[in-house]
Amino acid sequence: MDRKIMVTTDSTADLTPELVEKYGLYVFPLGIEMDGKTFRDGIDVVPDDLYDYYRRTGKIARSSACSVGDYHEKFAALVAEGYDVVHVGLADYLSCTLQNAQIAAEEFDNVYVINSKRLSTGIGQLAIAAAEMVAEGHGPKEIYDVLSERAYCLDVSFVLDTLEYMHAGGRCSGVAKLGANLLKIKPQIVVYDDVMDSGKKYRGKINACRLQYIEEQLHDVDDICLDRIFMTHSGMSQEDIDLVVAKIKSIADFKEVLVTRAGCVISCHCGPGTCGVLFFRKHRVFSN
């Protein structure tokens, strides 16, 4: 009898509960630390709690990786239930959480850990692709091989509305923050295979910057896989969301335009108002 396959991922995949249910995924929650206590991302705490915490205390919540024990316990339970496991994890250079999953998987010969090389719904894109390959009858090793390579084709970037959280978290100097505020600069963050770096710097009102960013990211439509695109944000009004989605649809005829809100791990680093588009290209994405 063929074994069943379970696709698992991390809460950093920023998938909605509806998408998690639709594709039959299991999600490991990363930890969020505030006032010496650890909460589970998306279970015990949501991004608005982090923003409220910062307003009250001036402190940034910290994220913490899933432990080897967390992964081992769930992997063992799934294997005992007759599953092979394909786990899609956060990029190895951003957190030790992927390494912890790999260490836990070493004790099993049927648990495959994919390094997404990305974050947020870049991970989500791969997790959904894995679930679709399961439905098509592909085996876990084939899914691992195909998606480990396809990860390099993911285009992942964001535009920040504020540098306040980056500054408070020690990732942006006071001078840079001051200059960005005075010049109304909205920086782009790009995620490649082994680095998260700054990209273009947009200037002006945030919605104008978002629309310019969308236009530039999607300009080469012939190199874009039009099956699915995520518009992921860290807290925007519905009016602003609709504006961005309309812009996406005016440029490229995606079969699905999925809107998700970033979870606590992404939000505690970038703050509210961040907006990104995440999609597959037909060819590998390279850093400049």
Amino acid 184: pLDDT: 67
Beta strands of the chain (E only): which ranges? 4-10, 26-28, 31-34, 37-40, 62-64, 83-89, 111-115, 154-159, 185-191, 196-203, 224-233, 256-261, 275-281
226-255: per-residue pLDDT in tens? 999 999 999 999 999 999 999 999 999 999
Amino acid 167: pLDDT: 54
Under DSSP, the state recorded for 13 is G
Domains and CATH numbers, the chain: 4-50+61-152 (3.40.50.10170), 154-281 (3.30.1180.10)
Amino acid 286: pLDDT: 75
Amino acid 197: pLDDT: 84
Q: From the CB of residue 193, how many other CB atoms can be counted at a distance below 10 Å? A: 16
22-46: per-residue pLDDT in tens? 999 999 999 999 999 999 999 999 9
User: Distance between CA 123 and CA 262 in Å, rounded?
Assistant: 12
Residue 168 confidence class, pLDDT cut points 50, 70, 90: low
List phi, psi (to 5°) of 276: -145, 155
User: Which residue's structure tokens are 């990732």?
Assistant: 171
> Which residue in 207, 201, 263 sits closest to 235, CA to CA?
263
179-236: per-residue pLDDT in tens? 344 346 798 989 988 888 888 999 999 999 999 999 999 999 999 999 999 999 999 9
pLDDT at 272 over 60: yes
User: Distance between CA 186 and CA 238 in Å, rounded?
Assistant: 20
